[in-house]
Amino acid sequence: MSVAPTIAKRVGEGEPAPNLADYDAARASFTWAGAREALDGLPGGRGLNIAHECVDRHADGPRAGRVALRFLGRHGPAVDVTYADLAAATGRFASLLDGLGVEAGERVAFLLGRRPELYAGVLGALKHRSVACTLFSAFGPEPVRQRLSLGDARVLVTTPAFYERKVAPIRHELPALRHVLLTDVTADGAPAATRALDPLLQEADPGYVTEPTDPEQMALLHFTRGTTGTPKGAVHVHDAIVAHHATGLSALDLHDDDVYWCTAAPGWVTGISYGILAPLAHGVTCVVDEAEFDADRWYGILSEQRVTVWYTAPTAVRMLMKVGPEAMAGHDLSALRFVASVGEPLNPEAVVWGSEHLGMPIHDNWWQTETGGIMISNFRSMPVKPGSMGRPLPGIEAAILRRDDRGGIAVDGSGAAQVVEEPGVEGELALRPGWPSMFRAYLGDPERYARCFVSGWYRTGDLARRDGDGYFWFVGRADDVIKSAGHLIGPFEVESALMEHPAVAEAGVIGIPDPVAGEAVKAFVVLRPGHEPGEALRKELLGHGRRRLGAAVAPREIDFRDELPLTRSRKVMRRLLRARELGLPEGDLSTLERGADDG
């Protein structure tokens, strides 16, 4: 693999020098303590608060009048929010939470698209020292109920339409949810047991003063998926902003006058860590588009907003590739100087497409909900090897651990994990704990958290290899979770929803290859006696999945089976199901009860 083709790059005329100019030197000199010094801390040595680093410190200085967020609504003109405006808006939100009696550390949930209220709300909650938890707006009622319940949310901010469709039907199952605040309604128009957000914000004091904040105070709760059981709530703390800032500098190459656009939805960790926190910590201008993907609109945004740094996802790049270069005609993309992507494997063709059509390769990087920030990256100053995720960030030690034949980590005689030193050998990607944005817990589930660690390493659940030049290459997941259009989907969640249907006795759910989304969700079901397979039932089950789970999680295909391959303990053997579906060798899959039950 060390002979993989590389794309060398030049710094274009008039472009700033890369922040990370010499990879080895940067790694050698980097310390997290040094990275922390790039931030201000709360005035008077009162700790570290994310909202202060992202908003107030800029609002109190020369960046006060700079546009922090430029909202492009579906219709109508752009709405600009300066750092000074954002300080007031987040102050109002923090005062409102205070007035509602919400305590530091309590969860404030958001079920909203990319709207100004979400950005002010998340940062306002952080200012108030309550915990921001964003939910993906395409979730159906069941994933919303699970997350609000597991997260023990006290407050939910959402729209009237989402409330009616996704929350009202399950509200009685959420006794701890004390306040539901709705956008877009007047005080008189709010449905029973909800309140209108806008009038409350108007009355609230914009000048909220942040209380001392311990850097280890819980700040963010991000739900992610395993292959069994309920979603996992990854807990992140205020200190995470040190990593967001440092990685924004080295991996995204943010410079002071950048116009930055991150296309990730704020219901996912990328939409928070890099859609809000990293760029605002750098005081740059962020473009926020409320609409969904549309090639012409996207090229229009890149050109009209003069976007300089663009962080997007492989599925989006593949959609642009599919539309063809004609869609670019008439759009001036000359402002763009850095493009990065994350969330799923970036195929080499997409990297090369970037070179040919955007004038630069797309820089893949790797991280996950638990890591809170970018861990492995193709840096602007480094040659890119198409298909590789790049090299570990300064301050990050990554390794490939050897696996035993039951999916665990092989250990040596002294119980230490075996680190693969030879290039090109596959194993589990692991990281040495200790970076600031690492998750501190799975909320309420210490055992699951403890299982992520083996002899001083954090196990990522991804299979990878490293080449002779130190570049990492993604191989696949070590468990059964599905990545579709960048969304992590737990097969268990989909199986459970299907089994709620009276016709379904058993369900097995896998990811099948999809040229654009990477993977698509496919379900196999065994029917209960008295139910016959057929087109009508297939459609009914597809509709049931969409209603319960939302379109982003529901299966796209359903096949009927007389039986599913089960382990001795009657768990569905998804890998065997997948191997059979895709015509892959079954190997020892049918005889071994494979572990890896909990990703």
Where does this chain touch ligand AMP (CB under 6 A) — which range of 38-46, 97-105, 366-374, 569-577?
A: 366-374
Distance CA 472, CA 398 (A): 9
Q: Which is nearer to ligand AMP, 117 or 364 (CB)?
A: 364
Where does this chain touch ligand AMP (CB under 6 A) — which range of 121-129, 454-462, 526-534, 556-564?
A: 454-462
Q: Binding ligand AMP by CB under 6 A: which of 120, 313, 389, 398?
A: 389
177, 133 contact by CB (below 8 A) = no
350, 321 contact by CB (below 8 A) = yes
Give, as ranges, the residues between 311 and 340 that touch ligand AMP (CB under 6 A): none
Q: Name the residue among 130, 162, 139, 135 with its Cα closest to residue 148.
A: 135
Q: Binding ligand AMP by CB under 6 A: which of 130, 134, 146, 460?
A: 460
Neighbours of 236 (CB within 10 A): 31
Where does this chain touch ligand AMP (CB under 6 A) — which range of 72-80, 152-160, 362-370, 449-457?
A: 362-370
Rounded to 5 degrees, φ, ψ at 23 are -55, -50
Q: How far is the CB of 587 from ligand AMP (least distance, A)?
A: 22
Q: How far is the CB of 314 from ligand AMP (least distance, A)?
A: 8
Q: Which is nearer to ligand AMP, 112 or 346 (CB)?
A: 346
Q: Which is nearer to ligand AMP, 67 or 234 (CB)?
A: 234
Q: How far is the CB of 377 from ligand AMP (least distance, A)?
A: 9
Q: Which is nearer to ligand AMP, 96 or 552 (CB)?
A: 552
Distance CA 525, CA 86 (A): 50
Distance CA 526, CA 561 (A): 5
Altogether, the residues listed in the chain come to a count of 599
**Does 345 sit near ligand AMP (CB under 6 A)?**
yes
Q: Which residue type sits at 594?
A: R
**Does 141 sit near ligand AMP (CB under 6 A)?**
no
Q: Binding ligand AMP by CB under 6 A: which of 223, 474, 492, 560?
A: 474
Q: Which is nearer to ligand AMP, 239 or 364 (CB)?
A: 364
Q: Name the residue among 462, 465, 432, 526 with its Cα closest to residue 4.
A: 465
Q: How far is the CB of 189 from ligand AMP (least distance, A)?
A: 36
**Across the strands, what pairs with 222?**
234
Phi-psi region of 504 (alpha: psi -120 to 50; beta: other; left: phi over 0): beta
Q: Binding ligand AMP by CB under 6 A: which of 53, 239, 258, 344?
A: 344
Q: How far is the CB of 184 from ligand AMP (least distance, A)?
A: 29
Q: Binding ligand AMP by CB under 6 A: which of 236, 363, 483, 578?
A: 483
Q: Which is nearer to ligand AMP, 174 or 475 (CB)?
A: 475
Q: How far is CA 543 from CA 112, 131, 145, 408, 549, in A?
A: 23, 34, 19, 38, 10
Distance CA 223, CA 454 (A): 23
Distance CA 355, CA 357 (A): 6
Q: Which is nearer to ligand AMP, 182 or 278 (CB)?
A: 278
Give, as ranges, the residues between 99 and 128 that touch ligand AMP (CB under 6 A): none
Q: Name the residue among 148, 107, 147, 144 with its Cα closest to residue 125.
A: 107
180, 195 contact by CB (below 8 A) = yes
Where does this chain touch ligand AMP (CB under 6 A) — which range of 70-78, 126-134, 349-357, 364-372?
A: 364-372
Distance CA 520, CA 197 (A): 37
Give, as ranges, the residues between 194 and 253 that touch ligand AMP (CB under 6 A): 224
Instruction: State the Cα angle at 183 between 180 and 187, rounded to 5°.
Output: 75
Q: How far is the CB of 348 from ligand AMP (least distance, A)?
A: 12
Where does this chain touch ligand AMP (CB under 6 A) — which range of 359-367, 409-417, 444-452, 499-507?
A: 359-367
Q: Binding ligand AMP by CB under 6 A: which of 221, 243, 269, 507?
A: 269
Longest Cα separation, the chain: 72
Q: Binding ligand AMP by CB under 6 A: which of 488, 489, 523, 527?
A: 488
For tokens 């305590």, what's the residue? 103
Q: Which residue type sits at 474?
A: F
Q: Binding ligand AMP by CB under 6 A: which of 23, 119, 338, 366?
A: 366
Q: Binding ligand AMP by CB under 6 A: which of 369, 378, 437, 496?
A: 369
Q: Which is nearer to ligand AMP, 49 or 371 (CB)?
A: 371
**Across the strands, what pairs with 483?**
488
Q: Are strands 153-158 and 131-134 parallel, antiparallel or unpaired?
A: unpaired
Distance CA 337, CA 68 (A): 20
Distance CA 431, CA 396 (A): 7
Q: Name the residue among 186, 334, 202, 311 with its Cα closest to residue 254.
A: 311
DSSP code of 212? P
Q: Which is nearer to ligand AMP, 217 or 460 (CB)?
A: 460
Q: Which is nearer to ligand AMP, 459 or 548 (CB)?
A: 459
**Does 343 sit near ligand AMP (CB under 6 A)?**
yes
Q: Which residues of the shown chain bind ligand AMP in the complex (CB under 6 A)?
A: 224, 269, 342-346, 364-366, 368-369, 389, 460-462, 474, 477, 483, 488
